[in-house]
Structure 1
């Protein structure tokens, strides 16, 4: 019974994180020399709440978060964050442009650098006003009601799965 309860509680939190995406930098190539990261990032839609994951051989590469000017000049001294685990996960918490380089040797000069544009998190579109008015009256209540309904349907589905196991 305790296992079912724990599973239910864990699954109840899923709706809050369903929209987030983990982007593996370089996909199967990972973070290494010889990959065009500008091209890799072109078709991606990075949003607040998503994570970017840098996979690389620990000690052979690293990830340095830098400013725009430091990115363009491969300046390794103007840093706010150096990551060295080989499996670095960075949560995108604010919208805007982000810059990352490898600070080992001349790796940045050889193209081992990434910039991305992070957009605000997507919010659900407001439900149409049931009164057919200009949409200002009751929108907050409609959004809350729509979210609550979706959330309850999701919880009911999860609860049904828990009962069946």
Structure 2
């Protein structure tokens, strides 16, 4: 547990330092999806919706997912209907190996991510990428 917390602190620090660098060189921002606790089973099923609320995601922003590979995964779902229903058979791609997967979106689009294990308990997020 302590090593997991240390891992989150180290990666969070790296993300903050990277975002400070990016903010001075480009308009891109780096996000730790879910905030300081990363990609985890939320106690509040609306946690990720609340995390995204009020943020303006734009092309070029980078999104980091930090989680334990034994407990979670990050799956990309193309359609809102499948996201809403946590339809794990409609997953386009699943990242299972843990670590810190990240995505940069260079198109204006709405992107849906779920944990195929805990989606029904609220571990899912919508990233609405705007032009600027």
Alignment TM-score > 0.5, same fold: yes
Question: Residue in 2 aligned with 1:88?
Answer: 101
Q: Deviations over 1:119-143 (max 9, x none)?
A: 01x3xxxxxxxxxxxxxxxxxxxxx
| Contact kept? 1:33, 1:112, Cα under 8 Å | yes
- Where do 5+ consecutive residues of structure 2 fail to align? 1-21
- Measured against aligned partners, the alpha-carbon deviations of 1:36-89 in whole angstroms (never above 9, x if no partner) come to 000000011100111111111122100001021110110111122211233110
Task: Supply the distance in 2 between the matched residues of 1:60 and 1:95 (Cα, whole angstroms).
Answer: 31
Q: Which has the larger radius of gyration?
A: 1
Paired position in structure 2 for 1:74 = 86
Q: Say whether residues 1:60 and 2:71 are aligned partners.
A: yes
In 1, Cα distance between the equivalents of 2:66 and 2:25? 22
Aligned counterparts, 1:1-165, within 5 A: 18-34=26-42, 36-66=47-77, 67-84=79-96, 85-104=98-117, 107-120=118-131, 122=132
1:17 is displaced (CA, Å) by 5.1
CA distance in 1, matches of 2:85, 2:127: 17
| Cα RMSD after superposing both structures | 1.9
